[in-house]
Amino acid sequence: MIKVLVCDDQALIRTGFATIIDAQPDLEVVAECADGRAAVDLAGSLRPDVVVMDVRMPVLDGIEATRLLAGAGVAQPVKVLVVTTFNLDEYVYEALRAGASGFLLKDAPPAQLLHGIRTVATGAALLDPEVTRRLVGQYAARIRPAASGEVALAPRELEVLRLIADGLSNSEIAAALVLSQETVKTYVSRILTKLDLRDRVQAVVYAYRTGLVR
């Protein structure tokens, strides 16, 4: 059973998410809340597997809440799935940097929300391939790039990293580079290990922060 905490300041959306999630035999909503501070407190006591997190909320916004739940240095990080709308694009990049395991749009169909929760719960990252470049690329340019340094990646690994940052799935990368999916998985694993990154989300942020993708 995957335990889920739903955090959104809009009661209608919060209830809708909870109803969809609770209808699944393998998912259980352990709590709902309307602000980031409550999410942090509840996550500490209930230890959910996934927090479905809104971005713009009172008391403590979703970005800061995500940083407290899943950011660098957190002893027992909780997986966070951020939900957003197009008019909140500028916040998504910071949410991913804060430690979110992925994001979805609020108008995504129920099946996509459920898939996202299950994906994030397994430890995988979830990036909506249709909007990754729009959401991350458009606003990464506003962030001061990280200090440039020697990137310890082989040319093919850099190619794969750029395609990850473009929002391509493993199967799409395999088709683009004429490789098997297993080979792509191996490259992705090497990239994460070499750069000491947790998942594909952090790889996307790294690619933009270091100027590998503009």
pLDDT tens by residue, 129-159: 555 655 555 555 554 445 555 567 888 999 9
Structure confidence by residue, pLDDT tens digits, 49-79: 999 999 888 899 999 999 999 987 788 889 9
Rg (C-alpha) for the chain, rounded Å, is: 17
| Mean local confidence (pLDDT), 89-112 | 79
Q: Max CA-CA distance within the chain?
A: 49
The whole-number pLDDT of residue 44 equals 92
Burial 76-109 (b: 16+ CB within 10 A, else e): ebbbbbbbbeeebeebbbbbbbbbbbbbbbbeee
Higher pLDDT, 66 or 86: 66
d(CA 61, CA 82): 12
d(CA 4, CA 30): 6
Q: Is residue 18 helix, strand or coil?
A: helix
d(CA 53, CA 83): 6
- Cβ neighbors of 55 (< 8 A, separation 6 or more) are 61, 62, 63, 82, 83, 84, 88, 91, 92, 95
The whole-number pLDDT of residue 6 equals 97
Q: Is residue 5 helix, strand or coil?
A: strand
Contact 41, 16 (CB under 8 A): no
| pLDDT at residue 162 is higher than 80 | yes
| Mean local confidence (pLDDT), 26-50 | 96
The whole-number pLDDT of residue 142 equals 52
d(CA 163, CA 8): 32
Whole-model pTM over 0.75: no
d(CA 181, CA 17): 33
The whole-number pLDDT of residue 129 equals 55
d(CA 120, CA 101): 6
User: What mean pLDDT is reported for the chain?
Assistant: 83
d(CA 78, CA 147): 29
